Amino acid sequence: MGKSTETEKGKTTKIRCPIHGFIELDELETEIINHRIFQRLKRIKQLALTDMVYPSATHTRFEHSLGVMYMATEMLNSLASDEQNLEKLGLTVDNVTRVRKIVRLAALLHDVGHPCFAHAGEKMMPFLPKNKKKQYKHETYSVKAIRVFFKSIIEGNAYGITVDEVCYLIGEDIKPPKYLIALKGLISSQMDADRADYLLRDSYHLGVRYGEYDKERFIRCITVGKTEGNSAILAIKESGLQMAEHMVMARYSMFSSVYFHKVRRAYDCHAERALKDVLKASGLKDGLFPPPSDDPIKLNEYFKFDDYSVISAMAKGDGGVHGDIIIDRNHYKEKRPSPWKIRDEKNDRKKFDSDTRKLKKKHSDYFIDEGAVTDYYKSKDREKEIHILRGDGITVPLSEISDMITKIGQPKNNKVLCPLGRE
Amino acid sequence: MSLDCNKNIILNLIKQRPDMGKTALMKFVFFLQESFDMDLDYDFNIYTYGPYDGEVLEDLDAVAFEGLADTEFYIADGYSGYKINLTENSKGIVKDLSEEDQEKIDAVINLFGHETATRLELLSTIVYVANRFEKHGWGGGGDTIFGVVKDIKPHFDIATIENAYKELLDKKVIS
């Protein structure tokens, strides 16, 4: 934590970040990060058990959240420096300062409800009461935490910011504040502040260079385009096309070499099973996290789980066989000829299913890792798509104008993982 | 090849309305779920471009990946879009729907099949807001339905929003 200083903006705190330099926080933001619930993020590793492969991948959601706040601010400042953008976003010079505060808070708090073990933890989320097929997402816990634990801090500020405004940007289905609706993409989209930070941060901490991209250019090239129905949407200026391609390639490389590394995937599978056992051992009969609640005591039951508490439980034996595997670093291995590349759903899938059937007969325990889909760049929709604003004012998806992106394709790399030494 | 229910619904929509765009597909699915009580389990959220759930387009991607639908990109009249159609491979794979579901798809295509992307964004936004206005407290703070829609879709004037609202009332899409 850096030194606090009194400036014309009030008391500010500067925190040194290896990615962005000094990140400055005002008194309100400082109070938030000092809260016990936010401090928990220091015990949630950004990449779960990736340190089993890359030992220095021990960075946490805490510093990532600060980085997302920094990037969201830079992106908004760049947008707001162009009057035309301000108008398209429904902002004015007068309200942009207040909006910037809201965006910063949403960016800072977007991951506050994240479970331990990153996305493996998401698999242990309870099911929705009205729909037993769907599970809660961590954003729901972030929203609950903001409403239950941070409301008095946020609403006690001089800008009159409400938790509704912050929660809307994080994804709560509430009446949209009109000056925020076009800014949702800063917090959640293919070119949001979240991935703008994690690509650089993960690269740095892993000691790889694949995730690096031209951050300054990215910030300068962000603009406002329009949808097929003439609505405002965040986009990249055509002059930033190569930078956008590079960003997609950076993500592709990170997925191929890091996020879907076979050992990392093995530990995701072990973590899911071990976490279930830990949750059961702690009294949660179904092996799922407690549901979100408006009651602070009940909500705290969810927040007591972090990487430290779960690893400690595993060390005591509460994580079962898979907990022991994690503690001993004795993971299941990839079965050859893995990965099965499913490029053609008809033929490749048939072969994969037939190979898997044979393996099931030979092995008492195994994981079929169908999650390893290289979805580094799904050309699926405008929410997840990078949009390019052409010089003629037409907004087009990057995937449709970039030969390079089109040629990458979307192979599915399925893996089968079996216990060590059992071929 | 077996198709799950939602993908089969999507393929049937494409079959019934060839050359539809991605915005149209999204909004047709929204109307089916929100106004015709079709149990699709999508999780729509509101954006500047109206109600949206990325899973609808993930399902479209999946049927395209399986070679059952084709998405053709085009640029015309100052904007870009897609034309979605079934492929030859889909023959014999797209399953007939129950009479009840087929009637719902017929109704949505009859009511909205001819609309532009711009109008579909507006109409679906009105339905989204109207259904939450009283039930989910979106009417608090002295706002009107038209005011909330205007906040989301600022490039439409209030008169246009009011007319579209009345149209939806007449068509019994909202009550």
Range of lowest pLDDT (A307-321, B24-38, B48-62, B98-112) = B48-62
Partners of A394 on chain B (C-beta within 8 Å) are 75, 78-80
Partners of B23 on chain A (C-beta within 8 Å) are 227-229
- Per-residue pLDDT, A350: 74
Encode pLDDT of A347-359 as tens digits. 667 777 777 777 7
| B78/A396 touch (CB, cutoff 8 Å), yes or no | no
Q: What is the mean pLDDT of residues A311-322?
A: 97
Interface of A with B in 142-171 (CB under 8 A): 171
Encode pLDDT of A246-255 as tens digits. 988 888 888 8
Alpha-carbon distance A270 to nearest alpha carbon in chain B (angstroms): 27
| A175/B132 touch (CB, cutoff 8 Å), yes or no | yes
Range of lowest pLDDT (A233-237, A402-406, B9-13, B145-149) = A402-406
Best mutation target, B42, B49, B74, B144, to test chain A (most A CBs within 10 A): B49
Strands B79-86 and B69-76: antiparallel
pLDDT band at A395 (very low <50, low <70, confident <90, very high): very high
A388 with A235: CB under 8 angstroms? yes
| A134/B41 touch (CB, cutoff 8 Å), yes or no | yes
Higher pLDDT, A374 or A414: A414
Interface of A with B in 393-422 (CB under 8 A): 393-397, 400, 410
Question: Interhelix angle for A138-145 vs A296-303, to 10°?
Answer: 130
The strand pairing partners of A334, in sequence order, are A417
- Whether omega for the bond prior to residue A18 falls within 30 degrees of 0, making it cis, is no
Pick A395's closest partner by Cβ from B46, B47, B80: B80
| A394/B80 touch (CB, cutoff 8 Å), yes or no | yes
Partners of B118 on chain A (C-beta within 8 Å) are 228-230
Inform me whether the pLDDT recorded for A384 exceeds 80: no
Higher pLDDT, A375 or A285: A285
Inform me whether the pLDDT recorded for B85 exceeds 80: yes
Coil, strand or helix at A187: helix
Q: What percent of chain B has pLDDT over 90?
A: 70
Inform me whether the pLDDT recorded for A374 exceeds 80: no
Kindly report the average pLDDT of chain B as a whole number: 92
Q: What percent of chain A has pLDDT over 70?
A: 87
Token representation of residue A340? 């099965």
Encode pLDDT of B41-63 as tens digits. 898 989 888 999 888 988 998 89
In DSSP notation, A26-78 reads -HHHHHHHTSHHHHGGGGSBTTGGGGGTSTT---BHHHHHHHHHHHHHHHHHH
- Per-residue pLDDT, A338: 57
- Whether omega for the bond prior to residue B51 falls within 30 degrees of 0, making it cis, is no
What is the spatial distance between Cα A325 and Cα A270, in angstroms, rounded to a whole number? Answer: 7
| B66/A345 touch (CB, cutoff 8 Å), yes or no | yes
pLDDT band at A422 (very low <50, low <70, confident <90, very high): very low
What's the ipTM? 0.85
Inform me whether the pLDDT recorded for B72 exceeds 90: yes
Inform me whether the pLDDT recorded for A420 exceeds 60: no
What is the spatial distance between Cα A118 and Cα A110, in angstroms, rounded to a whole number? Answer: 14
B32 with B104: CB under 8 angstroms? yes
Coil, strand or helix at A342: strand
What is the spatial distance between Cα A182 and Cα A115, in angstroms, rounded to a whole number? Answer: 28
- Per-residue pLDDT, A159: 83
Encode pLDDT of A164-192 as tens digits. 999 999 999 899 988 898 898 899 877 89
Q: Which residue of A has its CA nearest to B25?
A: A381
A50 with A263: CB under 8 angstroms? no
- Per-residue pLDDT, B76: 87
Q: How far is CA A151 from the centre of its chain?
A: 23
Higher pLDDT, A406 or B67: B67
Q: Phi and psi of A204, rounded to 5°?
A: -60, -50
Pick A175's closest partner by Cβ from B1, B49, B138: B138
A346 contact B CB<8A: yes
Coil, strand or helix at A329: coil
B87 contact A CB<8A: no
Best mutation target, B19, B80, B156, to test chain A (most A CBs within 10 A): B80
What is the spatial distance between Cα A265 and Cα A332, in angstroms, rounded to a whole number? Answer: 10
Interface of A with B in 227-286 (CB under 8 A): 227-233
DSSP secondary structure letter of residue A378: -
Higher pLDDT, A411 or A105: A105
Residue with tokens 């053609």: A344
| B120/A400 touch (CB, cutoff 8 Å), yes or no | no
Q: What is the mean pLDDT of residues A370-380?
A: 46
Q: Phi and psi of A268, rounded to 5°?
A: -60, -45
Inform me whether the pLDDT recorded for A372 exceeds 60: no
Pick B49's closest partner by Cβ from A175, A382, A410: A382
Encode pLDDT of A258-274 as tens digits. 888 888 888 998 999 99
B121 contact A CB<8A: yes
Inform me whether the pLDDT recorded for A379 exceeds 60: no
Inform me whether the pLDDT recorded for A158 exceeds 60: yes
The 3-state secondary structure of chain B reads CCCCHHHHHHHHHHHHCCCECHHHHHHHHHHHHHCCCCCCCCCCEEECCEEECHHHHHHHHHHHHCCCEEEEEEEECCEEEEEEEECHHHCCCCCCCCHHHHHHHHHHHHHHCCCCHHHHHHHHHHHHHHHHHCCCCCCHHHCCHHHHHHHHCCCCCHHHHHHHHHHHHHCCCCC
What is the spatial distance between Cα A109 and Cα A66, in angstroms, rounded to a whole number? Answer: 9
- Total CB pairs under 8 A between chain A and B: 110
Which amino acid, residue B73? Answer: F
Rg (CA), chain B: 17
Question: What's the predicted TM-score (pTM) here?
Answer: 0.90
Inform me whether the pLDDT recorded for A64 exceeds 60: yes
Coil, strand or helix at A421: coil
> Residue A236's closest CA among A407, A105, A85?
A85
A54 with A125: CB under 8 angstroms? no
| B152/A131 touch (CB, cutoff 8 Å), yes or no | no
